Structure 1
């Protein structure tokens, strides 16, 4: 387990967004009944710099001009991750996240299509995806990625499954991070923000995970509001 009580280096002041995500790791590590299997806290990526420098780098190197509103959620950590589990006699719940900051994500190449013979459209889509939240320890080939289309300043958010395909999420990058603070990376939570039906056999495992999350998280993490997630689950039944 890799932990840093404070970011390495002197004189570094964390942003509000960075403090909130370190608080997420604290929530998991301090919660009763939550077994943290892996954790990584930083360090801060001083080479790329702060949000202004990172966004300018993307403009200079890739010709991508991201909307200034995204700077408030910029996380400078080289790595920020957790893999955790909750095990009870009648319930098993697990999840994971591993975040790259947005500048690093934009410099990561695309993802492999979910089928052996993808269409040209799917190949092009997968080539344009930039992973920012990977689930390498127990996610079964899942990740979340950004896509910036030509002329756009706001990235799309996509959820990619190695065998089921690629799903456009109906939230933006800041909303994804905000929701991650609540779901803690529960496997499959991203499907709540896609056009799927949990009655389909491919998504029943994710639905069970989400149901278990909504059963135990109000007890373990009572300071969060789960009503919006419940409504989305019911809408996709």
Structure 2
């Protein structure tokens, strides 16, 4: 494999943590060789932004991989599953053009149009329909991130671009972790299943990956459930 940047080496290590961990079964990893044909970070982010301009701090998370990801399931007694898929940012595309659910009363921000979004993480192997996309807006150098959990809802994330990938690396893409950072009503009966999944994730991951600190995520879930 070509010489890797620190960011690229970090993500290769995350894939290896899943692929080589005896507590993980069925780890289906995708890891292409980083290619020079995809250009450098300034060029890629300029292509993404089009006529706009994105903050240069975003360049810290730039991957030359055409594709990098892993779909995985934990072995018993754990019951946690996940997937992430990251491509080169210059090739990020809008999601399918669907009509997102709009909540009346102004309690939540109106969802953007699909044409403003560029998908930066999704799950092509499991096909659950989840994705995370950044929102391109004129004059907004630090883009919003929006999360679709596979339903017709689109949720604004309380994470910026770099923060998203930091938590993604920690959770390894365990399904539904993003709801720790949405304003979804987790105390409602409707979200009971998602809360059980979050609790299970935060019980299982510290045992599977004991070298990582999950206490901040546990504290965040506790706060969200108050």
Q: Same fold (TM over 0.5)?
A: yes
Instruction: Give the structure 1 partner of residue 98 of structure 2.
Output: 113
Within-5 A mapping of 1:132-211: 132-138=120-126, 140-211=128-199
Instruction: Give the structure 2 partner of residue 52 of structure 1.
Output: 42
Residues 196, 236 of structure 1: 8 Å contact kept: no
- Superposed displacement of residue 184, structure 1: 0.3
Distance 1:22 1:118, change over 3 A: same
TM-score if structure 2 supplies the norm length? 0.88
Length, aligned pairs only:
221
Instruction: Give the structure 2 partner of residue 36 of structure 1.
Output: 26
TM-score if structure 1 supplies the norm length? 0.84
Distance 1:117 1:216, change over 3 A: closer
Distance across 1 between alignment mates of 2:112 and 2:170? 32
In structure 1, runs of 5+ residues without a counterpart are 1-5, 7-11
The one of 2, 5, 9 aligned to 1:19: 9
Residues 171, 193 of structure 1: 8 Å contact kept: yes
Distance across 1 between alignment mates of 2:145 and 2:101? 23
Instruction: Give the structure 1 partner of residue 66 of structure 2.
Output: 78
- Superposed displacement of residue 124, structure 1: 4.8
Distance across 1 between alignment mates of 2:90 and 2:116? 15
- Superposed displacement of residue 114, structure 1: 5.2
- Superposed displacement of residue 154, structure 1: 1.2
Q: Residue 98 in 1 paired to residue 85 in 2?
A: yes
Residues 131, 145 of structure 1: 8 Å contact kept: yes
- Superposed displacement of residue 72, structure 1: 1.3
Query: RMSD of aligned C-alpha atoms?
Result: 2.4
Residues 101, 154 of structure 2: 8 Å contact kept: no
Distance across 1 between alignment mates of 2:155 and 2:101? 18
Distance across 2 between alignment mates of 1:68 and 1:140? 33
- Superposed displacement of residue 223, structure 1: 1.5
